[in-house]
Each structure stands twice: as C-alpha cells, then as structure tokens.
Chains A and B, each alone.
Chain A
Amino acid sequence: MISRKVQKDLMTFIMYIFGFLLLWEWLRPLEQLTDTSNIGVFLLFIFTSLLLSFTGTPVLIGGCIKWVFIVVALHILYIDEAFFQFKWVFVFITDFIESFQLVFARDWVNLSNLFRSFLFFVLLWLMTYLIQYWLINRMQILIFFFMTLVYITVLDTFTPYEAGLAIVRTVISGFAVLGMLTFFRLLDKEGIKKEATLSRKWMVPLVTMIVVSVGFGLAAPKAEPIWPDPVPYLTSYGKGSGEGTGVQKIGYGLDDSSLGGPFIGDNQVIFTVEAESRHYWKVETKDVYTGKGWITSGSREVRSPFGSADQVPITSFFNSPGIEMVKESSTVYSLTNNSHIVYPLGIQKIDAASFYSYELEVDTEKIHSLEGDSPASIKQYTLDYAVPRYSVTALNEASSEENIAVNNELINRYTQLPEDLPLRIQDLAKEITDGKDSWFEKARELERYFSRSGYIYDQKDVAIPADDEDYVDQFLFDTKQGYCDNFSTSMVVMARSIGIPARWVKGYTEGEYKGISESGSRMFEITNNNAHSWVEVYFPGIGWVPFEPTQGFSNSVQFNFDAASQSHDLPPEMNPEELEKDKPELKENNEKQPVANEDSLKKFFIPIENFFEAYWKMIALSILVLAVCAFVIYRIRGRWLPYYLTWRFKWTRKDENFQKAYLLLLRELDRYGLHRKDGQTLRDYADYIDRFFSSREMGRLTARYEQLIYRGSLQKGSWMETKELWENLIKKTIA
C-alpha cells in the first residue's frame, strides 16, 4: 500500500493530538465500567505509537520500540522479578502457551490477565495504525468520530458512565480533526501547497466555529427529553429472559412515593390465566398518602405465614347478607420471576406445589411466595376465591352512625391525609357529593366525577408535581389529564377528605381475552400494559368494595340493585369485547420519567400540543401532500418556468434587466442539460449552444452581453433589441 508521507508541521501535530484525544475517549470509561486498571500505561502506549507515526519513524524501528514497550509494561504490571534476570521470558512463554490453548478451547473466561493485557496492547496498536491511516492516507475521520459518539452515548444511556463532559470533549476533538482534514483534502484536490498563512486563515474560523458552537451548546437551555426514556423498554427484553443487566428496573415497582410523569407501553407478558370470569388482579394496597404518592404505614416486614391450601388470611369482605358470593377458581401461569402472587378480590386459597409456602404482608396485603426460606417464583398456581355481588341497599345502610363508631380504628387509618393537603380538594369532594347521604352514594359520585367533568386519560403528557405542589391537587385542578394513578389516587384522597375510608390498590386489569381453553375456561393474557391501580372503599359490616374512577376502565364489580336501583342512573353495562377495544393503553409500571415542569411554559404549549395531537394526521398528510406537490412542480419546472420567465421579462424595458435575464437563461440552459464548465467563456459556451440548437441566437445575444459586462457600457435599448433572441432561447429550454 502506498502511504503518504506524514508532514511534520504544526497543524498535523495538532491533528494527531486530537486524534489521540478521540482515542482516549474510548479508554476513559474502561476504568469505571470494567476491571481494567492502569489505563495510564495503555494511554502512554497510544501516545508513543502516534508519536512514532508522526515523526515518521521507520516501521521496523517503531515496531521494535512498541514491542519493547509492551514487554516492559507487562513486566511491570504482572511480574515482580527484576527485568534483567529474564525470568519473565519463561513466565510469558508459559502463560502465552496456556492462553493459546484456552483460546482454542474457547474458554475465554479463564484467560490470564497478562494475556488479556497483551491482546489489548495489540488492539491498541491496530487502533493507532487505523488512526494514522484515516488521518494521513484517507484524510477522513468522520466514521471514527461518529463511532466514538455512538460509543459514548450508548455507554451513557445503558451504564453508570456519565458522558456529559466526554461528549463535549469528543465533539471538540472531532470537529477539530474534521475541519483540519477538510483543509488538507482541499489543498490536495486543488493542488495548493501548504502555507502558514493559508493554515492560519483556515484555523482561525475553525477555532471560532468550534468555540462558538460548543459555547452555544453549553450555554443553551437543554430541553428535557421529549420522548420517554426507551431504555427500560429495551432492557425489559433482557429482564424477561432472566439476564437483564439494565440499570433501571421495570415491572412491578415497589416505590410509589412520587407519582407522576409519562411512561411508555410495554408488551411484556407477565402472566396468563385461565379464569371463569373477568376481574382485576390485585398485588398490594397502600394506605398512606404523602402528597406526592403512596407509602405504607407499617413495616413491610410484618408478615403472617400460611401454607399451601390454607385459608388466605385476608378478609376482603364479610360474610354478610348484603353480599352474594359465587365461588370461582382460576389458574395463573406466571411468566416472570416475580415472587409474589396476583390474586382477585375475595381470595380464599392458593393451591400450588406443596413445597411452596406463603407470607402475607399484613399492611399491604401483598402475598409472597417462598420455597423454604427464600423467595421463589411459582410458575403455576390455582386460586380459589369468592366473587362478591354487593347489595346496594346493604351498602347504603353500611355507613350508619353506629357502624362507623364500631370501626373507628380502621376508619382512622384509612382516612389519613397529609396535613398540608390543599383545602380545595375537600371543598371539591363536598361539592361533588352534595346531597348524597350514604358513603356508597358519595363514592359513586366521586367515581363518576372524572368522566363527567372531562378529565382526559393520557399516558404521555402527565406532569410531576413540583416540590410545593400536591399530586392530587395538580391533577384535579390543573392538568386534568393523567392515567390510573392520577384518577385512583384522587378518588381515594377525595373520599378520605370527606371521611370515607378508602385505600389505593395496585395490580393488573383482567388483560386480553385469548379465547376458551381446552378445559372450557376463559384465557387471558396480562402484560405490563395491564398494570393498573384503583380504589377500594371500606363499608363497615360489608368489607372492601372496589371502585374504578379511571376514564375508560371498568372493574365489572357487580352490584345488586334491589330496592334502591331507581335512585341510581347507572350507565348501561358495556359489552366486554367493546370495552376491550375502547380501552386506552394501560399503565405499565411505576417507573416514570420526569418531564419539564415549568408551569408557565406548559400552559403555553399545552393548547398547541393538544391541537397537534388532535390534528396531527391532518397536518402530516397536508405537509406530505404539499411536499409531494412542491417536488412535482420542481421536477417539471422545465415545463412552466420558461413561460413564467418570458412573462416576467415581457414588460421590462430597462437594460439593467439584461444581466438578470441572461443569467437566468444560463441557469435554464444548465437545467436543460447544457452545462457550462467553470473555465468556459461565454463565447465558447454560446458556440456550443448554437451548435446544439443549430441557431445563431445565443452567439448574438452573448456578443451583446459581453459588451455589457466586459466593456462596461451598453448601447441604449440593447435589451429591447435582444429580447426576442432571449425569448426564443428560453423557449428552447422548455422540456
């Protein structure tokens, strides 16, 4: 291969320095992310290699120097003996032989550090050679620069490595090298020799450009990401296969203490069930509202163990005449490694292999599955439970004075609210429930309030409350759009504010109906998209009754409207299949990304965003149509542009327009395919045109034009005289 000589001037040196810095960016994260240490040695090696390349040291000598460097470095790093006793030679040889055997056995893991370091040196050697090749021979570095950026951004996204500064450094080095290489390429192409003054002329704007762009980049306000973070989505695939190394967790988040923010859908299947009817699946409940989210009042460690086939120690509702119960059972097939049980309201028994045992988190009613003492994920279990059918009359009567008094302790716990809860929440709750007496009626009013008042279900444009803002308050009065967490939390808080005990329930919706199984039961598939939260209200003497305030969701809880039914205008039951379709994308988990939280800005943008959201298809379509039209019009400009031009110059009499008209003619001829080279004179070109069209018009026109620009004067009326020539020529360019 012919290699160019390295020019030993300052500019090339600077270029090498930046090349070195770019390569350095590849090594920087190693120390943090891998168990590589002594990066300095490797850096020194790169530096030496590039220096040898710059000085134009002959390959043989340079190679020797590098080999000595490698041997000495490996010696210093790994061998304690004195260098000149040469014992290291044997160590090296035996190590290398072993390592080679390991390589052939494809036993990569057991390679010795010595050998790994050696290989790394070889890799760096290759890299420095490549850098030299790119800089000096190819004079192109864009690919390497781009790869460096990709490398850094990927590391920044997926690992703890903070690439904020690295990006800036890379951009500076990359721009500098690109700029200088462009200069060299230009010199090479134009056959101009390199001169200090020329270099300076190039370098000053280059440096200015870099400084300004970097300065601007640093100083400019940085918008928060518009798209939700794709990383959890990407890593969730890894998680599903049990090898997830993603930094951020996905799935059933435990921490609900700060709710809000958008999230993205995730189709990972969590479990499938064979069930007799459709109902929600609970995982846990929370009782303490903090103003930002939910925590539990007690310790999660308070657990009550129970065994397989034991009665599950959860009392969802009491054996009361107000509830009709239908026994049902479902089989759950878990597809994740979660060690908790999903269960419906009214759970009675868990049936799985007998070596599993269970613990109930008393405070949250979350059921953990264990094998021996360690958490275990049960892949298949059968649940026995009672599906309740509540009597509305009983519910209405449940909130009598004496009932409340009896359950004072429980009611106190589930009417907890933060002290600084804005008063207007309570006011609103009172206003909504005005005129209703019983808790049940009030709860129904609260449940229906959201759909009546135009609250919007939205997963993306969901705010996070500011430090001094209440999560519920913000949703109820400010943003009025959100997903299940917003709706359910708001309902719980409103219910509590008027003294109705309620709690917040997390779990999954019934999932997607997948048909009838062989055994005749219905199969559902529940994905992360089906993660959900809703409300349970406590009625003394009855138990917990679920409510579903979230827009577009239905919990298919059955109420028995005996005598009281007239007073309630319940919405007609929706067909389950329809329901499925109408359902917006469901909440995925509790990992949410913060969005910019500047209220003023938000208020300004929300109408615009809403507009775009509503009409984006129209807008996109019209832009597309316009673009296509513009493109077509541009493509067929040969058909109409000449007419336009003749029309445009029809009424101009002034000679000043001659130049404009002539230059336009040149452009049209060029478009027609008759190109004029840079060094071609007009007269020469006119000859060419006239030969092409077998005319003499261009020559005559050009002779006039020459007078205008090279003689500097034109007889009056020249344009009027030559206009006909010009028009004829323009018309010839009509495609």
Chain B
Amino acid sequence: MTHEHIHPMIDKILKNIEKVMIGKRSVAELSVIALLAEGHVLLEDVPGVGKTMMVRALAKSVGANFRRIQFTPDLLPSDVTGVSIFNPKEMEFEFRPGPIMGNIILADEINRTSPKTQSALLEGMEESSVTIDGVTHRLGKPFFVMATQNPIEYEGTYPLPEAQLDRFLLKMKMGYPDMADEIEVLNRAQKVRPIEELEPVIDLEELIELQTQIKEVHVDDTIKRYIVELASRTRTHASVYLGVSPRGSIALMKAAQSYAFMYGRDYVLPDDIQYLAPSVFAHRIILKSEAKFEGIRAEEIVDRVLSRVPVPVRRLVK
C-alpha cells in the first residue's frame, strides 16, 4: 500500500492530525475516509484514549465548525436539534439551533442517553436535515458525525439499536497507544495543549470539492460483484442472525472509493475492499446468540468471508 502517493491535500490533513494524535495513523485515515465519503463514524473505546482529540483535530484541520454533544441520560432531543423559543418582543417563535447544526459533530458517549435522544441525532445523520415544530432545517455541509460509545458492558448505557448501527459508515476502535507513543503524548502534554495550536490546512470549499471528486472514482463491475458476493456471503453464514444489508454494500463501495482516492488512484482495487471490509461490515452483522456464546466475533466472520470469496482476477465478460 505504501508505494502509492497519498493525495497531497489529504496528506496535509493527516499530517496535521498527527501533530496531536500520536501513533494513530490508521484511525486518522479511516476518519478522513469517512469524512470524504460523507459517512459517519462510530468510535468504540474506553474513555481517555483520545477520541475527542481525534475529532477536534480533524475539525480544526478542515476549518470546520466543530460542535460537541455530551450525551447524558437526561439529555432531550431538543438539546440536540435545537428548539423554538417564543420571543415576547417580536411576538413570535424564534428558532435556536442546537449543536447538530455544526459541520463536524462529536457525539460523545452516545450510548448513555435515552433512545429517543439517540434517534434525534441518528435521524439527522440519515436525512441531513432535522424537522422541528414542522419546519425542516437543512444541516450543514459537510456534515460529519463522529459518535463515541463506551463498550456496551459498562453500566448505565442504552446500546444503540442494531438497525441504527447501520447508519454509521465505519466503526473503529482507538486502542491504547504503545509505550513509546504514550511517552511522547506525555511529553507534548507537558507544554501546551497542542490542539490549540492546530491551524486549518484546507477550507470547507476544498473539502466539498474533494467529496465530489471521490464520486468519480471508478468502481469496476468486477469489484462491484466482489462487494456483493462478500455481503451475500455474510447473510448465509451459519453463525449470523442478520447479515450485511445492501446499505452495507453501498457503504463499502463508497468507503473504498474514498480510500482509493486518498491513495491517488482513480479506480478501486480488491485490496481497498479487503482493507475496509472489517470496519464497514463488522458492526452491521448480528450474530446468533449461540455464536456469541462461543465467543465468535463479527470481525472473525468478515475475515473468514474475505478468505473464502475468491478475489476477481479477470475481467467480467458481459
């Protein structure tokens, strides 16, 4: 993968993020991919590993309007979307936009709030708009949500409904930094908070331009067929209760386009698919309870499917 040149603009973003996020290159890459593919990311990890830092760095790098919603059990949907308030002076309702109206949203600990509030955010993610008091408000463009959630076994959480998980393009884990990286983190934290020093490297216009360019990346029919075969193979797997939906297939294709673009290619390779499939597919697969008891993880299923489905090596003959 390394002997390809990263798209210069994206390279700038990544380098910028790396100034604050040490040793998290792949997470940064995936986040950028999701941003460029107009998808959203679910970050699942324990607190304190730099989830918030990651999003803020990304937001700063692209000069986006960053909002953060800290989800708590008592948060109301209107706290997310905004609310109309009666202005006695003007004798009319005035709309006060909520934090969802930003460009890059960090939905922190999304599984700690009630399903009602969760769905307010998720609806926005899906529709790119919210409806309050009968008025539809367009959300910002670009609109990118990075939701974090603590691993579900923690107390006092409302796990996201399985159907809602489908809305996230990617799900990833941060993981702890390794020893050397963590020491470097400490070094930097000694001085200033590095995040404050970050400067934008591209502006929103350029970002939107990149997003439109990505749609031009060629996905050959052989690749499409490969994606569909992978998805359908997850559906028929014996340990799987619910496999990857067509929406999942679309997600994989978009992510792959974005990834290919990032590496300066105008066509998608099976390698791109294989690299992204675990992140795109795993959270969309619902395992049977027997399989869960046996300790099988969705990632393993994706890996097994990847090793089973033959990579296309010849052109489709129509």
Of the stretches B33-41, B77-85, B169-177, B303-311, the one at the interface is B303-311
**8 Å CB contact of B311 from A192, A679, A707:** A679
Q: Is the CB of B267 within 8 A of A679?
A: no
- What is the chain A residue whose CB lies nearest that of B273? A681
Q: Is the CB of A709 within 8 A of B220?
A: yes
Taking the closest CB of chain A, its distance from the CB of B239, in whole angstroms, is 7
**8 Å CB contact of B238 from A193, A666, A683, A710:** A193
Q: Is the CB of A711 within 8 A of B274?
A: no
- What is the chain A residue whose CB lies nearest that of B3? A699
Q: Is the CB of B269 within 8 A of A659?
A: no
Bound CA–CA A187/B271 (angstroms): 28
Asked if A191 CB lies within 8 Å of chain B CBs, one says yes
1/0 per residue A677-700: CB within 8 Å of B? 111111110000000000000010
Bound CA–CA A682/B313 (angstroms): 7
How many of A's residues come within 8 Å of B, CB to CB? Answer: 26
- What is the chain B residue whose CB lies nearest that of A662? B313
Asked if B314 CB lies within 8 Å of chain A CBs, one says yes
Asked if B193 CB lies within 8 Å of chain A CBs, one says no
Q: Is the CB of A711 within 8 A of B218?
A: yes
B residues less than 8 Å from A402 (CB atoms): none
| Contact A712:B313 (CB < 8 A) given known A193-B237, A684-B271 | no
Q: Is the CB of A659 within 8 A of B304?
A: no
Q: Is the CB of A710 within 8 A of B267?
A: yes
**8 Å CB contact of B307 from A191, A678, A699, A711:** A678
The winner among B237, B270, B274, B315 for most chain A CB atoms within 10 A is B270
Q: Is the CB of B307 within 8 A of A681?
A: no
B residues less than 8 Å from A198 (CB atoms): 236
1/0 per residue B287-318: CB within 8 Å of A? 00000000000000000101111111111000
User: Which residues of B in the span 232-280 have a Cβ within 8 Å of any Cβ on A?
Assistant: 236-240, 266-271, 274
Q: Is the CB of B236 within 8 A of A192?
A: yes
Q: Is the CB of A663 within 8 A of B313?
A: yes
Q: Is the CB of B237 within 8 A of A711?
A: no
Taking the closest CB of chain B, its distance from the CB of A689, in whole angstroms, is 14
Asked if B150 CB lies within 8 Å of chain A CBs, one says no
Asked if B72 CB lies within 8 Å of chain A CBs, one says no
Q: Is the CB of A680 within 8 A of B304?
A: no
Taking the closest CB of chain B, its distance from the CB of A202, in whole angstroms, is 13
Bound CA–CA A405/B240 (angstroms): 106
Q: Is the CB of B267 within 8 A of A707?
A: yes
Taking the closest CB of chain B, its distance from the CB of A253, in whole angstroms, is 66
Asked if A195 CB lies within 8 Å of chain B CBs, one says yes
Taking the closest CB of chain A, its distance from the CB of B135, in whole angstroms, is 46
Taking the closest CB of chain B, its distance from the CB of A398, in whole angstroms, is 92
| Contact A659:B220 (CB < 8 A) given known A678-B307, A679-B307, A681-B270 | no
- What is the chain A residue whose CB lies nearest that of B267? A711
Asked if A190 CB lies within 8 Å of chain B CBs, one says yes
Asked if A70 CB lies within 8 Å of chain B CBs, one says no
A residues less than 8 Å from B14 (CB atoms): none
Asked if B52 CB lies within 8 Å of chain A CBs, one says no
Q: Is the CB of B306 within 8 A of A679?
A: yes
Asked if B65 CB lies within 8 Å of chain A CBs, one says no
Taking the closest CB of chain B, its distance from the CB of A255, in whole angstroms, is 67
Bound CA–CA A706/B3 (angstroms): 15
Bound CA–CA A677/B308 (angstroms): 9
Q: Is the CB of A191 within 8 A of B237?
A: yes
**8 Å CB contact of A710 from B236, B270, B309, B310:** B270
Taking the closest CB of chain B, its distance from the CB of A221, in whole angstroms, is 41
Interface size class of chain B, counting residues whose CB lies under 8 Å from the partner chain: 20 to 34
Taking the closest CB of chain B, its distance from the CB of A314, in whole angstroms, is 87
- What is the chain A residue whose CB lies nearest that of B4? A703
Bound CA–CA A711/B217 (angstroms): 9
- What is the chain B residue whose CB lies nearest that of A699? B3
| Contact A666:B313 (CB < 8 A) given known A191-B239, A678-B307 | yes
Taking the closest CB of chain B, its distance from the CB of A64, in whole angstroms, is 31
1/0 per residue A700-722: CB within 8 Å of B? 00000011111110000000000
Q: Is the CB of A708 within 8 A of B315?
A: yes
Bound CA–CA A598/B184 (angstroms): 97
Asked if B211 CB lies within 8 Å of chain A CBs, one says no
B residues less than 8 Å from A712 (CB atoms): 218, 220, 267, 315
Taking the closest CB of chain B, its distance from the CB of A203, in whole angstroms, is 17
Bound CA–CA A706/B313 (angstroms): 9
B residues less than 8 Å from A195 (CB atoms): 236
Asked if B64 CB lies within 8 Å of chain A CBs, one says no
- What is the chain A residue whose CB lies nearest that of B313? A682
Bound CA–CA A108/B312 (angstroms): 68
1/0 per residue A333-348: CB within 8 Å of B? 0000000000000000
- What is the chain A residue whose CB lies nearest that of B219? A710
Bound CA–CA A52/B142 (angstroms): 65
**8 Å CB contact of B266 from A190, A677, A711:** A711
Q: Is the CB of B220 within 8 A of A678?
A: no
Asked if B157 CB lies within 8 Å of chain A CBs, one says no
Taking the closest CB of chain B, its distance from the CB of A677, in whole angstroms, is 7
Q: Is the CB of B309 within 8 A of A679?
A: yes
1/0 per residue B48-77: CB within 8 Å of A? 000000000000000000000000000000
Taking the closest CB of chain B, its distance from the CB of A702, in whole angstroms, is 10
- What is the chain B residue whose CB lies nearest that of A190? B308
| Contact A680:B311 (CB < 8 A) given known A192-B236, A710-B223, A711-B220 | yes
B residues less than 8 Å from A678 (CB atoms): 307-311
A residues less than 8 Å from B240 (CB atoms): 193
B residues less than 8 Å from A659 (CB atoms): 314-315
| Contact A709:B308 (CB < 8 A) given known A191-B238, A681-B274, A682-B270 | no
Q: Is the CB of A683 within 8 A of B313?
A: no
| Contact A681:B271 (CB < 8 A) given known A663-B314, A711-B218 | yes
B residues less than 8 Å from A710 (CB atoms): 218, 220, 222-223, 267-270
B residues less than 8 Å from A681 (CB atoms): 269-271, 274, 311
Bound CA–CA A187/B236 (angstroms): 10
| Contact A706:B269 (CB < 8 A) given known A192-B237, A193-B238, A711-B220 | yes
User: Which residues of A in the span 249-264 have a Cβ within 8 Å of any Cβ on B?
Assistant: none
- What is the chain A residue whose CB lies nearest that of B304? A191
1/0 per residue A169-199: CB within 8 Å of B? 0000000000000000001001111010010
A residues less than 8 Å from B236 (CB atoms): 192-193, 195, 198
Taking the closest CB of chain A, its distance from the CB of B67, in whole angstroms, is 39
A residues less than 8 Å from B270 (CB atoms): 681-682, 710
Using A187-B238, A198-B236, A710-B223 as known contacts, list a sample of 19 further A-B pairs with CB atoms less than 8 Å apart, ordered by residue number in A.
A191-B238, A192-B237, A193-B237, A193-B240, A195-B236, A678-B307, A678-B309, A679-B308, A683-B271, A684-B271, A706-B267, A709-B313, A710-B218, A710-B220, A710-B269, A710-B270, A711-B218, A711-B266, A712-B267
6 contacts between A and B (CB under 8 A): A193-B236, A663-B313, A663-B314, A679-B307, A684-B271, A711-B266
> Which residue numbers of B lie inside 8 Å of A, CB to CB?
3, 218, 220, 222-223, 236-240, 266-271, 274, 304, 306-315
A-B CB proximity, top 6 nearest:
A711-B267, A679-B307, A191-B238, A678-B310, A192-B236, A681-B270
